[in-house]
Structure 1
């Protein structure tokens, strides 16, 4: 039994106020496409907001989202189909789908219309299944988010305008800022220019901001969370992202996450049980330390990635996405089985 069905009784009073699911498309009206299935996690918890250092639901109760990130849409969109998304929502019981749209590397900049429409569609697919949709502006190379500021303004203006009436949208505006010259001050400046663009259309959505050194709060470059904690954004309803790969990132990263979460609202928008390359052996012991810490501190998390890529970090065995069988564990790699259990827990 998935997490949605386990939580239905707890959330029933709130869920009964939400209309039933519709067959939404990217061109559906706002009223139609904002509908969430009654009893689903996103319907029951409603519009999320940052309360203090935590993520809270519309009633002010702390929540911890757990789910999966897509791989790059330009490479593995074939893994996002009716059967696989049904399995994620119902068999896994995931609360959130991170829609990972690369900007370079064959992504958005090559065809903005195509990739924007893909994101619209996957937002609707997440909504139909009662999941939160985390829209990931997956800037990576170059590492300075300001390089893509104009593109980001165009993209997020359209996304926020179309989906502003939904209560299940989160915006991740800078995946992994990187480079020695990409200081927190540069990232902060980018966020201060882009967040008002989103808020002009969607005033109450949570915005997630990447942190220095591959969203590690600087630890990957020998620093720590102090640079961000001493100079936070003054805009409300903002969280800061942290990424880790357990086979590469040990106690120093774990301690950084722990300290940062005591100072700032943190959301782990990407992690793996293997090496930072997304490949190699799994370190499930270290991964469990992270899982336990995130449960203790109510830190939401998203695992990388929901595809059948050959690397160990992709949850499905190679070739799975060419078929329509995604439920259960027979189609999963070892990391997939491990993560599925933690999502369902």
Structure 2
């Protein structure tokens, strides 16, 4: 491991970091290697004597080289970061340093990322922040995965620096094998799932994994087979160390796939049990069905005024949970899990989140057939349990028109397949950003809904609103000409308070049906502390207006909003101790209605 670190240090010395300050505008970092950083303020509010502003950061790589890594420096200037997402934040005293997550550190030539965001507090109103970026351009590594002495004289790297390796590690060498194995075991927690999740292991494991991957290979998309094999080896090592309590045992059987496929964690085949009893849930006796009962007792839902009603005209408030991304936590979308949540929480709806553009997403390398099969399992399982189910096209941080054609194709297939199912609801754009309601989101929604209506005239449709589905007030007076549409509002109680609640009241008071298709009781990053007072205020408001709501999210990711404790590996049959603090709050909130 020390040799690996020395190699990485050698590479680091060869990197050229270019830093340019910017002030809420596009800035050309360097003429021959153009990297642009822009910051825009998308939202602001006042609370308890402080001014809060939400900033969205976009990094655009217009150079001819790939970015391997990046660092952003934010000057404090009297402000403090209260929330962040899609980055790691370090307090340097007079400034903050932002480092990427595992999934957004690499930016290909000609591409950009726009999923990094901050909420900062200031003593007075402000419209900008001072930021600088340090891009790290790709460095070519010539060593093979088994680094050997004879490889040390290969071609120079792209930075014209050659790295000489004079040591050789063989299986029989006595060189800190326990340390190497432990680091591999930690790395395996991420390596075996890095194609499935937001690398939810501890930060040190994330760094260890990616250090290992950089040395192994700097072109992961071209060498995925090698990385997959290394991940399996590391996962096997992790299993050997599971008994010491430091590393969780992982059951992996990753296969190398081409660029159009995601890496999957395989599971043992489970017995098919139809006509299951939802009250009798045993973790070792999974409830799985392939049949699917298309008809649930309450029938199709429809909009009546600002409320949802069932087939008999009774007012229905849907209360349930959402999966995390199907590519990363598919194991939680199963009938046993739904039966457990129905028994423990009293849910009547389950949301299936399909990310289109994130890592291993539906449009970015995910195995489409596997993902659609998981949706099918979820739809049928929910129907068998008498639950409604939302198929969520999880647009996140961009204009949905960027993937409009793909969305139309997806929902054409889904609505054709599930036209006969009473329980299926379609959510056509989760959290748009940078998209005006009238000129962008509404026309997009009209096109997608027309496709759905051609196959299923009666399905309930949920449409997202701008600024992470916070601007539901913009719909007032400009609703879609469709009688069975709701408009989504999302909140995270520790961040979104009176100003977002007022948007909800305004929309409802003006006849706009609102559906809270995602919420939690922590801050907007999905992490941080829980604000119980704000959470209870939101719950009281939702119940008073019969507004449906969905808790984010069913997984054991190491963040506050995950409903399952990160130490729990069960995918159904949970005890109360297995639920996180957020999970316990939602359990009480939902079942006490």
Aligned-pair distance for 1:103?
0.5
Distance in 1, Cα, partners of 2:333 & 2:390:
15
Give the match's secondary structure for 1:68.
strand
- Distance across 2 between alignment mates of 1:51 and 1:186: 26
Which aligned pairs between 1:131-170 and structure 2 lie closer than 5 A?
131-141=387-397, 143-170=398-425
Segments of structure 2 that go 5 or more residues without pairing to the other structure are: 1-273, 277-287
Give the stretch that moved more between structures: 97-106 or 118-127: 118-127
CA 328–148 in structure 1, closer or farther in 2 if over 3 Å, else same: same
2:464 to 210, 218, 221: 210
Q: Distance between the aligned counterparts of 1:324 and 1:176, measured in 2?
A: 27
Which structure's residues are more often strand, by fraction? 2
Query: Taking structure 1 as reference, are residues 173 and 76 closer, same or farther at Cα in structure 2, changes over 3 Å only?
Result: same
Query: In the alignment, what sits opposite 1:48?
Result: 301
CA deviation profile, 1:87-142 (whole Å, cap 9, x unmatched): 1122221100000010011211123322222211111111111110011000114x
1:244 aligned partner = 491
Q: Does 1:79 align with 2:327?
A: no
Find the aligned partners of 1:145 and 1:192 in 2 and give their Cα distance: 12
Question: Which one has more relative contact order, counting CA pairs under 8 Å at least 6 apart?
Answer: 1
Q: Which runs of 5+ in 1 are unaligned?
A: 1-19, 37-42, 219-224
Counterparts of 1:328-343 in structure 2, within 5 Å, are 328-343=575-590
Higher helix share: 1
Distance 2:371 2:348 in 1: 23
Which digits, 9 at most, give the CA deviation of each residue in 1:130-166, with x for residues without a partner?
A: 110011000114x111111111111111111111111
Q: Say if 1:70 and 1:305, in contact at 8 Å, map to a contact too.
A: yes
1:213 to 1:326, Cα distance in 2 relative to 1, 3 A: same
User: TM-score, normalized by length of structure 1?
Assistant: 0.84
1:189 aligns with 2:443: yes
The ranges of structure 1 where at least 4 consecutive aligned residues each deviate by more than 4 angstroms after the TM superposition are 20-24
The 1-side partners of 2:443 and 2:410 are apart by: 18
**8 Å CA contact 1:160, 1:201 repeated in 2:** yes
CA shift, 1:21, in A, is 4.6
1:6 aligns to what? none
Q: Is the 8 A contact 2:289 2:335 kept in 1?
A: no
Q: Residues 324 and 253 (structure 1 numbering): CA distance in 2 closer, same or farther, change over 3 Å?
A: closer
SS of the residue corresponding to residue 321 of structure 2 reads strand
Matching of residue 260 in structure 1 with residue 545 in structure 2: no
Q: TM-score, normalising length from structure 2?
A: 0.50
Say whether residues 1:317 and 2:571 are aligned partners: no
